[in-house]
Amino acid sequence: MKNALRLTTLALLMQLGGLAMAAQPQSGLELKSFDKSVRPQDDLFRAANGHWLDTTEIPSDKASYGAFVQLRDLSDKRARGIIEELAKKKGKAGSVEQKIGDYYASYMNTAAIDKAGLAPVQPLLDSIAAIQTRQQLAAWMGKQMGVVNTPVPLGIEADFKEPTINRLLTWQGGIGLPDRDYYLKKDDERLSKARDAYKTYVQTLAKAAGLKDPAAVADRVLAFEHSLAEVQWDKVENRDPVKLYNPMTPAELAQKAPGFDWAAFFEAASLPGLDKLSASQPSYLTGAAKLLNEVPLDDIKTYLTIRVLDGAADTLPKAYRDAHFAFHGTALTGAKSEKPRWQQAVENVNGALGEAVGEVYVTRYFPAADKARMLELVNNLLASYKESIDKLSWMTPATKAQAQDKLSKYMVKIGYPDVWRDYSKLEVRPGDPVGNSLRAANFEWQRQAAKASKPVDRREWLMTPQTVNAYYNPTLNEIVFPAAILQPPFYNTKADDATNYGAIGAVIGHEISHGFDDQGSQFDGNGALRNWWTDEDRKAFEAIGAKLVAQYEGYEPIPGKHLNGKLTLGENIADLSGLQIAFKAYQRSLGGKPAPVIDGFTGEQRFFMGWSQAWREKAREERRLQLLTVDPHSPPEFRANGAAINHDGFHEAFKTKPGDKMFKASEDRIRIW
């Protein structure tokens, strides 16, 4: 389940580097990627990346390609080496080595998977066929929590207003397409094409499984999912923490959403005696409960059968795997071929035993010096943020004091957790890829369910060390940087400070800024959902945000498709604020001395060129459409240019003037933090 407020990630990581200068100064910029026919004053993104964009082909197994994907591939190769090495040790039964090795080997053995047919998943399919009553349906959904994508996913989060206590929350789900818009926007030709591909996919699964009348199966499944989509909230609504926070007892939920046996559902989900929960989208629960009570039971069972086949397809025979890729890969993202099987296997092992792999990963690829350098950078950016808050012209002293209090309470996590996850109760069997996947999903859900209504463990991480990403978590008021964001080719101790501050500095500033974007700013320094603003200051902040919404809604990544400025507002605030703070930190690091000119660029120019090259990426149109529909991040070229165009430092560095395509008058520039 993806909770929009659980954490805010930087989906495309920037170029990283240390602060140490090499003996022979190097900018760290990839000069061969530049398009010298384009001026930064007209298109910063194209100027820094144009030649690369013109000459680079997206690999056939990729939906997009760029710095982030390259770094992720490197992380996967390193994880593969660790996994295969552990597998060779032939660990004793129950050991981590045995579990990792058998999980990986069974996933890789496609010949055995093809021979097994549907037998490994048949018990789960039989359990669906055995459902005779609505109560049994509710119990089945609860028992398969975290294993099967059903209409009522559950999660465990810190309570928005009691952030020291974990709280069960509900979420909307159960659809096979990426978002409700794929079902509801009938006049959108691109979305209709994806919907048709999904219908074909469901038919293929039904035919392969021997279901009667595959065409009718697809019609019934899509009709049910369309009904679910009709009662789901849209992506913008799901960004409002106040609307999402609806604490209630299970009895109150049963009153608000009648027609579904919530007691049987929660008990089967290992949540007996639940005292309290938060209903994230209460109107959806009312609508979903009604559907689960009124739609013919056979239709729901057919739908659940397809959900099981879809979820297990990568560990089922070739016909299922091919159909899964034709839809999830080609139709939705434009990829031409599947990722190598080993890479799929690594992703699955990371999903099941990620911290066990990560514990070895950090000993090999994350030296103590990297952690110390990262901490130095983070502290430098936090200090710059503190100074920036003091100088805000639009915020009154009372709110500034609250903002400073929140900033002072930031928790910083770098590299890896202090306490590693215990996988002793996870059973992994040799030659059982379907069972291993199902048991791993159930193991993780049981781990989560055990936390309900219990104190929050602030030591826990939401990403593995080998994950190429970073996040801010509002209820813990923490910024988290896994080890994998500090590795070659992005981590370069020889790179110039200016380039590094434009890259890693902006990464750090971005995550810090999420605590002060339109969502994060509604939580206080203790992680509680609380209005710590004066009314006057909040209105001023929202007025600035409205200008940013308007700016980004003017961008058109695909002909006829504009950005959703409200959906991307939080990330756009973080990009703009992070870039502003990183630039201030860079200037501060110079100690009043001018930066040298390197590769023909001043320090300030290198800062912005480094920022731009960090966003270097190409994506297929299908993938761009998918992200425009569901992703709160703007496409990379608009992140690079959209933040820079509002930055005084950019205009000063490149001496922009009226007539330049990226010129923006000083009085029109959007300045937030």
- At 66-102, the pLDDT tens digits run 989 999 999 999 999 999 998 888 889 999 999 999 9
- For 319-362, write each residue's pLDDT tens digit: 999 999 999 999 999 999 999 999 999 999 999 999 999 999 99
Which residue shows structure tokens 């409200």?
Answer: 566
What pLDDT is recorded for position 504? Answer: 86
Q: Are 278 and 152 in contact (CB under 8 A)?
A: no
d(CA 127, CA 384): 58
* pTM of model > 0.85: yes
Residue-range domains of the chain with CATH:
8-19+29-80+366-417+461-668 (3.40.390.10), 118-315 (1.10.1380.10)
Burial class (CB in 10 A: 0-12, 13-18, 19+), 320: buried
- For 440-451, write each residue's pLDDT tens digit: 999 999 999 999
Distance of CA 10 to the CA centre of its chain: 7
Which residue shows structure tokens 């994350």?
Answer: 366
What pLDDT is recorded for position 491? Answer: 59
How many CA atoms lie within 13 Å of 116's alpha carbon, on the beta-carbon side? 22
What pLDDT is recorded for position 8? Answer: 43
d(CA 452, CA 348): 26
Q: Are 590 and 603 in contact (CB under 8 A)?
A: yes
Whether 12 shows a pLDDT value over 60: the answer reads no
Region 193-220: mean pLDDT is: 98
- For 516-529, write each residue's pLDDT tens digit: 999 999 999 999 99
34-47 core/surface letters (b: 16 or more CB in 10 A; e: else): bbeebbbbbbbbbb
pLDDT band at 106 (very low <50, low <70, confident <90, very high): very high
Give percent of the chain above pLDDT 90: 91
pLDDT band at 27 (very low <50, low <70, confident <90, very high): confident
172-204 core/surface letters (b: 16 or more CB in 10 A; e: else): bbbbbbbbbbbbeeeebebbeebbebbbbbbbb
Region 168-182: mean pLDDT is: 98
Q: Are 443 and 145 in contact (CB under 8 A)?
A: no
Q: Are 33 and 48 in contact (CB under 8 A)?
A: yes
Region 119-147: mean pLDDT is: 98
Whether 6 shows a pLDDT value over 90: the answer reads no
What pLDDT is recorded for position 487? Answer: 60
Instruction: Measure Cα distances from 471 to 361, 479, 503 in Å.
Output: 20, 6, 16
d(CA 459, CA 9): 19
Structure tokens belonging to residue 502: 């434009």
Higher-confidence residue: 461 or 370? 461
pLDDT band at 138 (very low <50, low <70, confident <90, very high): very high
d(CA 515, CA 527): 10
Whether 603 shows a pLDDT value over 50: the answer reads yes
Whether 485 shows a pLDDT value over 90: the answer reads no
pLDDT band at 233 (very low <50, low <70, confident <90, very high): very high
Candidates 497, 488, 520; CA nearest to 376 is 497
pLDDT band at 489 (very low <50, low <70, confident <90, very high): low
